[in-house]
Structure 1
Amino acid sequence: MIGMARKWNAQDVPDQHGRVAVVTGANTGLGFDTARVLAERGATVVLAVRNADKGGRAAARIAETAPQADVSVLRLDLTSLESVRAAAREVRSRHPRIDLLINNAGVMYTPKGTTRDGFELQFGTNHLGHFAFTGLLLEALLPVPGSRVVTVSSAMHRVRARIDFGDLRWERRRYDRMAAYAQSKLANLLFTYELQRRLAEGDAGTIAVAAHPGFAATELIRNSPAAVRLVVAKAVAPVFAQSAEMGALPTLRAATDPDVRGGQFYGPDGPFEARGHPKPVTSSRLSHDTAAQRRLWAVSEELTGVEYPL
């Protein structure tokens, strides 16, 4: 147990030798720092990334601080269910047993667009891609004691967020990139809580946990309008932003702290959960709507064609 007087940090990550961790979006930002710490602690780490060249450079950077690290690159494009299926087959052929799946990759505030399968880009990437990838890998996690699925959400799940089941593709409404992002991050939590319920009912040793990084200084905001980027850079970031290394801590704690319980949500302990060290935090009332959780699950299975082995 961590003493009350001391904050949880990367040094508290337990030894990870013998464990296999798959981290999506691990070539940069939060995903990179999550993968780096796990590798430094001895985990076998799979960097699941869209661009294999960038993934290779990320693996080389990790090797600079952890020369003995076992790090490999897996090409995963969450905007393509074909790519998701291929990536899942490849990682399972390499690693029949997986200890950690960290669903970190995502897009934010993108202009209106669609995935290769025709889904709204943010919902399709941030939720549906990870829903499919998790379902296709779950059989490799279920037999492993202490295995975890950690999905990275956002404090934005509270802001103008609801799941419009009648218009998931944003065909009837005027597109709002912020609301679409918030919807995808709410979906991450609904998915986590429903997955945990199903795992618990099946008496599985695997647990599902969520985390959010607060306001981390990463390149994720690159798709925001220029005016928003300027305000963030000049007025918001200097006061509230924290480094990617700090932003990765809630994910790392959710993935490795032995005291974590299924269905918990971790975020920073500072004002507005914008920055600080990781602790259990609460999520919105909408995220705990069990009817929405179950409906989203059914819709996600239908849209992706992936059924879970639970």
Structure 2
Amino acid sequence: MPSLLRITAVAVLAAAMLYVPWWLLFVLAAVLYVPARRWAAGGVCESRARLDGKTVIITGANTGIGKVTARDMAERGARVILACRSLEKAEEAAKEIRSQTGNKNVAVHKLDLASLTSVRQFAKVINDAEPRLDVLINNAGVMGCPRWETEDGFEMQLGVNHLGHFLLTNLLLDKLKQSAPSRVVTVSSLVHAFPSGMDFDDINYEKDYSPNKAYDRSKLANVLFSRELAKRLKGTGVTSNCLHPGVIMGSELMRFQREQWQKKFGELVAAALSKLVGGVFSVFGKTVEQGAQTSICLAVAEELEKTTGLYFSDCVPKETSAAGKDDEAAARLWGVSERMVGLKSAT
């Protein structure tokens, strides 16, 4: 269902709560809950492909859909590398995955996407120690934070969601090419459709900063990056696709949203909004298991081995926004990103 229809449905429900007796709302909720949850669950990866002998790297794999994806890869027999900022949390997740799957080949390496030095160190470890890399899943992200900066002075959401993954992917390309057929999977979002385009005049948000707008543009950057990468990798056996995982219940990405509401509306309204959104998400949102399905599908589905340059949702290709199809902007973003991360001189 298009996002506009979802918003309309939620608005109708909210209006109904004002005029319909509470007992009738309770009955309607009880009757509609199960079909609503089934609808919200979305697509499921039906592939039973094994990944024995293959290596998969997942960023941000210690929690959420990244952790579920890592567990699925381990169940399929892959060597799974959890690339995470917190080694302690990553080790806990790896221990749990090993126990649940019986796959002991689950490794942990430190990767802080807010530090280009950390990205380069991680890539060196992988390139030196790993004989192959079959799937790279760019999953980690930050959402709605204040205007923080990365170690290198980039706006945090652009830096982590796009630039860190941009550099990481480029530094691992030779390994991916050597292991072809291989895949790059980038987690974006439907909010990539909200901006009319990238703001190249203020890409680092030094003039005007909105947490939500910055997040939306970082997700548009994911789509443009994935699209341009697919073009550049044509004929190499390495594919590049991106995806919208769905609106995830209990996602850690939402941890800054309540702080924004508190600043704008005060504690009382923020608490009410949090409960309202939580209630809507509990019906129309996805569990982390459901949200991971499209990432898993793009990583393993045999029929997608040669599919590249597309945007997926619920395990099937979907149209991006007009801004997401802007090849000129994609090429320009690539060049700007190269200079920002130091892959090419700024001259």
- For the criterion TM > 0.5, the same-fold answer is yes
The residue that corresponds to 2:177 in the other structure is 142
Q: CA deviation at 1:42?
A: 0.3
Mark the CA change 1:13 to 1:211 in structure 2 (over 3 Å): closer, same or farther: farther
Contact kept in structure 2, 1:143 and 1:205, CA below 8 Å: no
Q: CA deviation at 1:265?
A: 1.6
SS in 1 for 2:83: strand
Q: What are the residue-to-residue correspondences of 1:245-256 with 2, within 5 Å? A: 245-256=289-300
The residue that corresponds to 1:160 in the other structure is 195
Give every structure 1 segment of 4 or more consecutive aligned residues whose post-TM-superposition deviation is greater than 6 Å: none
Indicate yes or no: 2:160 matched with 1:125: yes
Q: Which runs of 5+ in 2 are unaligned?
A: 1-41, 262-269
Superposed CA deviations along residues 251-275 of structure 1, whole A, max 9, x for unmatched, are 111111122201122212xxxxxxx
Contact kept in structure 2, 1:123 and 1:180, CA below 8 Å: yes
Q: CA deviation at 1:94?
A: 2.1
Indicate yes or no: 2:218 matched with 1:184: yes
Indicate yes or no: 2:313 matched with 1:279: no
The residue that corresponds to 1:265 in the other structure is 311
For 1:39 and 1:76, locate their aligned partners in 2 and report how far apart those are by CA, in whole Å.
Answer: 20
Report the TM-score when normalising by structure 2.
0.80
Q: CA deviation at 1:152?
A: 0.4
Higher helix share: 2
The letter for the 2-side match of 1:249 is: Q
Q: CA deviation at 1:169?
A: 1.5
Indicate yes or no: 2:213 matched with 1:213: no
Percent identity between the aligned chains?
42
The letter for the 2-side match of 1:99 is: D
Mark the CA change 1:230 to 1:114 in structure 2 (over 3 Å): closer, same or farther: farther
For 1:121 and 1:214, locate their aligned partners in 2 and report how far apart those are by CA, in whole Å.
Answer: 22
Contact kept in structure 2, 1:154 and 1:212, CA below 8 Å: yes
Q: CA deviation at 1:161?
A: 5.2
Q: CA deviation at 1:8?
A: 5.8
Mark the CA change 1:179 to 1:204 in structure 2 (over 3 Å): closer, same or farther: same
For 2:275 and 2:148, locate their aligned partners in 1 and report how far apart those are by CA, in whole Å.
Answer: 24
Indicate yes or no: 2:277 matched with 1:242: no
The letter for the 2-side match of 1:265 is: Y
The residue that corresponds to 1:293 in the other structure is 330
SS in 1 for 2:57: strand
Q: CA deviation at 1:305?
A: 1.2
Contact kept in structure 2, 1:161 and 1:183, CA below 8 Å: no
For 2:111 and 2:241, locate their aligned partners in 1 and report how far apart those are by CA, in whole Å.
Answer: 22
SS in 2 for 1:216: coil
For 2:197 and 2:257, locate their aligned partners in 1 and report how far apart those are by CA, in whole Å.
Answer: 21
For 1:169 and 1:242, locate their aligned partners in 2 and report how far apart those are by CA, in whole Å.
Answer: 32
Q: CA deviation at 1:162?
A: 2.5
SS in 2 for 1:21: strand
Q: CA deviation at 1:13?
A: 3.9
Superposed CA deviations along residues 273-307 of structure 1, whole A, max 9, x for unmatched, are xxxxx222111110111110000000000000126
Q: What are the residue-to-residue correspondences of 1:101-116 with 2, within 5 Å? A: 101-116=136-151
The residue that corresponds to 2:29 in the other structure is none
Q: Which runs of 5+ in 1 are unaligned?
A: 1-6, 269-277
The letter for the 2-side match of 1:209 is: N
For 1:43 and 1:248, locate their aligned partners in 2 and report how far apart those are by CA, in whole Å.
Answer: 17
For 1:210 and 1:191, locate their aligned partners in 2 and report how far apart those are by CA, in whole Å.
Answer: 9
Structure exhibiting the larger radius of gyration computed from Cα positions: 2
Superposed CA deviations along residues 133-168 of structure 1, whole A, max 9, x for unmatched, are 000111100022220010000011112353111101
Indicate yes or no: 2:41 matched with 1:37: no
The residue that corresponds to 1:302 in the other structure is 339
Q: What are the residue-to-residue correspondences of 1:41-52 with 2, within 5 Å? A: 41-52=76-87
For 2:195 and 2:229, locate their aligned partners in 1 and report how far apart those are by CA, in whole Å.
Answer: 24
The residue that corresponds to 1:23 in the other structure is 58
Report the TM-score when normalising by structure 1.
0.90
Indicate yes or no: 2:255 matched with 1:222: yes
The residue that corresponds to 1:85 in the other structure is 120
Q: CA deviation at 1:199?
A: 0.7
